[in-house]
């Protein structure tokens, strides 16, 4: 069915007299892309006097706009920012008798306007009055169920009209027409474009340019490097940035800056409504008195130090060499600058880039220190990895990125990953396996007891653990190599090696120069001194014997040996008592079996007499075992007393190396 909703003439006049919707003002002038996945966008627009700037932003950017918008007005002040709420349609409908779904049906909407004066035209009938409601009724087997609009006419008569195709309802209440138009306008704009109009009120004087800056989500910009190594300690390095325009608007003459670093990036649903549940508080009636005055901070805030001046643009100095592979120099590289937490690269020319397009542009073109090494780490196999040791002498932190390595004479030799490299520091970029070099490692652990102290019935044993690793390197048959070995670090251990040449958070680095077809060896030693405490009362005989053999003090060694023997005697007595107890339990179980058998055989039978004889012999053995067990327990008490006496005698003695 096709239905129409006609608005009253009063509302049409109101819409015609309203000012047109302000067009969005401001164009993108600057964009700073962050490695944290954000874009700092700056718009510029001209205003005069008091003005309102309007910008259209995507719905998914509203929260970021509310979080980060900054207005720069040289001759004015910022007032307020207004925009449609996320739930504006629902909020408007909250005071209306219909829902958003009712707007799709003329009859359904008209039926919800109870008490509103309307004019209804349907099926050739015209009916005027106040709406009573929409209902359904049966109209016979051929027609079925039909819908009927009921009204109360001006004379008080109740009448109804059947809803047919071509139904027209004219609302005569201007206020209701305005409310419906408001809902339709807000809902239509939100669904049609998915954008939000943000209006910023400014107060100022004269004509001027105003700039708006905000931070929104953007694709992470990437860095790719090309390094051409000449094998003489120097290499040509080019850094290219890959950027994408995903801001929803073409860039035309935009100044682009790239920022590296690791910023903290947060988001919050500032455009969503949150209702806080509040407990009900009783009305206070007591006199709370006069609040104290704020005395202010104890000290004034220190003045911030001045920011460093921007670094000068870095020019590349190329050597005049005749080589097969030589990258063409960048026409103009980016202008780098080093900050406290990030490096920035400002592209030298304004950028034109359409929505959804990608741009790759050189940001750095320079010569750096580079030396080839063979890098070996435990667990990677026999052969080390060929790598370039790059020292960043550019004065600016190099952002992380993938690096393609070229040999100036041979061409492509491999790919590597370059981590973020601060100015003045060096990083290894591993790019290929060096199968001409082999590294083997042999580790020999050892432990030496250096001190024993007995205090208050406890042994404090101090031992030095030592682990020596010997690295044997077999060099390449046709050329010398510089081999760097990373020996794993251990917390609490000290490290020493004649080949030590720096360290990382996870390893110590050993450097060896290996001649062609030669071999080299490096020794690495890890040591740790550790003191463990053991209760003498809980130490077994074997442990006491080992301590006595390691003690340098003869008296302490003899005391520990005597305690070891006393502990062994005590443990022997304990075992003897346990064995006797097990034999007694076995005899008791056998007697229970015999008693059970006696109950089922004739009392004067030969078998009964044999059972009784066995029980008599067992009783004699139980008596002997009881005597032996008592003697063993007495020996155990004597030997435990001996152990306690020796422990008391040893307390306070100590041995030193």
pLDDT of amino acid 387: 92
In a 10 Å sphere around its CB, with 0-12 CB exposed, 13-18 middle and 19+ buried, how is residue 473 labelled?
buried
Length of the chain: 657
Closest CA relative to residue 64, chosen from 41, 87, 80? 41
- Sign for the pseudo-dihedral over CA of 559, 564, 568, 571: positive
Phi–psi pair at 596, nearest 5 degrees: -65, -40
Q: What secondary structure, in 3-state letters, does 45-76 show?
A: EEEECCEEEEEEEEHHHHHHHHHHCEEECCCE
pLDDT of residue 655: 40
> What distance, in Å, lies between the first and last C-alpha atoms of the chain?
105
DSSP state of 398: B
The C-alpha atoms of residue 183 and residue 306 are separated, in whole angstroms, by 54
Structure tokens at 112: 């919800």
Residue 235 CB burial class (10 angstroms; 0-12, 13-18, ≥19): buried
Q: What integer pLDDT is reported at residue 654 of this predicted model? A: 46
What local confidence, expressed as pLDDT, does residue 268 receive? 81
What's the pLDDT score for residue 527?
A: 94
Q: What are phi and psi of 280, to 5 degrees?
A: -80, 130
Secondary structure (3-state) at 174: helix
What pLDDT shows up at residue 468? 95
Residue for token pair 């307390």: 651
CA distance 243 to 251: 12
Q: H or E segment at 618?
A: helix 606-650
Torsional sign, CA 161, 164, 166, 168:
positive
Backbone angles phi, psi at 537, to 5 degrees: -65, -20
Contact 527, 465 (CB under 8 A): yes
What is the pLDDT at residue 187?
Answer: 67
- Those residues of the chain that have pLDDT short of 50 are 1-24, 192, 287-321, 654-657
What is the spatial distance between Cα 225 and Cα 390, in angstroms, rounded to a whole number? 12
What residue segments make up the domains of the chain, in order of their start? 4-215, 220-263+323-369+396-422, 438-537, 539-655
Specify whether the CB–CB gap between 365 and 333 falls below 8 A: yes
Cβ–Cβ < 8 Å for 363, 333: yes
* Greatest CA separation for the chain: 137
Helix H segments across 491-605?
Answer: 541-550, 554-598
Which residues, 6 or more positions from 476, have their beta carbon under 8 angstroms from its beta carbon? 434, 436, 437, 514, 516, 517
CATH 2.60.40 fits 438-537, yes or no: yes
Q: What is the pLDDT of residue 189?
A: 60
Cβ-contact 549, 448 below 8 angstroms: no
């Amino acid at each position: 069915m096709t239905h129409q909703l006609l608005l009253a003439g009063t509302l049409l006049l109101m819409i015609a007299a309203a000012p047109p919707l302000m067009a969005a003002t401001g164009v993108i002038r600057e964009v700073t892309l962050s490695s944290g996945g954000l874009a700092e966008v700056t718009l510029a627009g001209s205003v005069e006097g008091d003005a309102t700037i309007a910008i259209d932003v995507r719905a998914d950017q509203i929260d970021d706009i509310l979080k980060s918008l900054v207005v720069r007005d040289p001759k004015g002040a910022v007032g307020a920012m207004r925009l449609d709420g996320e739930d504006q349609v629902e909020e408007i409908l909250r005071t209306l008798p219909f829902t958003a779904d009712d707007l799709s049906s003329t009859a359904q909407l008209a039926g919800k306007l109870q008490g509103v004066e309307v004019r209804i035209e349907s099926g050739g009938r015209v009916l005027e009055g106040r709406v009573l409601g929409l209902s359904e009724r049966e109209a016979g087997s051929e027609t079925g169920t039909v819908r009927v609009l009921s009204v109360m006419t001006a004379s008080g008569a109740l009448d109804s009209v059947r809803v047919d195709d071509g139904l027209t309802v004219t609302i005569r209440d201007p206020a209701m027409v305005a409310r419906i138009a408001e809902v339709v306008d807000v809902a239509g704009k939100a669904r049609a474009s998915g954008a939000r109009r943000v209006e910023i009120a400014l107060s100022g004087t004269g004509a001027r340019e105003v700039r708006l800056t905000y931070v929104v989500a953007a694709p992470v910009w990437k860095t790719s490097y090309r390094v051409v190594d000449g094998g003489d300690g120097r290499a040509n390095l080019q850094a290219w940035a890959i950027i994408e325009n995903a801001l929803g608007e073409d860039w035309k003459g935009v100044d682009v800056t790239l920022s590296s670093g690791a910023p903290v990036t947060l988001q919050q649903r500032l455009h969503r409504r949150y209702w806080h549940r509040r407990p009900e508080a009783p009305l206070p009636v007591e006199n709370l008195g006069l609040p104290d005055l704020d005395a202010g901070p104890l000290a004034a805030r220190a003045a911030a130090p001045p920011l460093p001046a921007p670094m000068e643009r870095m020019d590349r100095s190329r050597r005049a060499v005749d080589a097969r592979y030589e990258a063409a120099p960048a026409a103009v590289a980016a202008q780098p600058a080093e900050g406290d937490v990030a490096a920035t690269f400002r592209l030298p020319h304004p950028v034109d880039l359409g929505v959804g397009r990608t741009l790759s542009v050189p940001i750095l073109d320079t010569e750096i220190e580079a030396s080839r090494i063979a890098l070996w780490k435990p667990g990677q196999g026999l052969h080390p990895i060929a790598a370039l040791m790059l020292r960043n002498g550019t004065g600016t932190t190099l952002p992380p990125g993938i690096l393609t390595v070229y040999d100036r004479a041979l061409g492509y030799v491999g790919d590597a990953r370059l981590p973020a490299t601060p100015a003045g520091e060096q990083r290894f970029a591993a790019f290929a396996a060096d199968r001409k070099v082999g590294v083997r490692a042999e580790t020999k652990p050892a432990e030496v007891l250096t001190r024993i102290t007995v205090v208050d019935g406890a042994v404090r044993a101090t031992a030095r653990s030592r682990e020596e690793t010997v690295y044997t390197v077999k060099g390449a048959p046709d050329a010398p190599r510089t081999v760097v070995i990373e020996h794993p670090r251990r917390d609490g251990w000290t490290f020493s090696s004649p080949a030590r040449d720096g360290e990382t958070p996870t390893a110590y680095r050993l450097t060896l120069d290996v001649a062609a077809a030669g071999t080299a060896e490096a020794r690495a030693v890890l040591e740790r001194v550790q003191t463990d405490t053991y209760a003498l009362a809980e130490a077994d005989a074997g442990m006491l014997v080992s301590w006595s053999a390691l003690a340098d003090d003869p008296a302490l060694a003899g005391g520990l040996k005597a305690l070891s023997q006393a502990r062994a005697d005590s443990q022997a007595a304990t075992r003897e008592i346990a064995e006797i107890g097990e034999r007694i339990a076995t005899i008791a179980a056998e007697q229970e079996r015999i008693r059970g058998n006696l109950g089922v055989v004739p009392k004067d039978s030969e078998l009964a007499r044999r059972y009784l004889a066995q029980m008599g012999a067992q009783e004699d053995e139980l008596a002997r075992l009881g005597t032996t067990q008592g003697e063993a327990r007495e020996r155990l008490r004597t030997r435990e007393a001996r152990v306690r006496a020796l422990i008391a005698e040893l307390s306070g003695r100590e041995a030193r190396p």
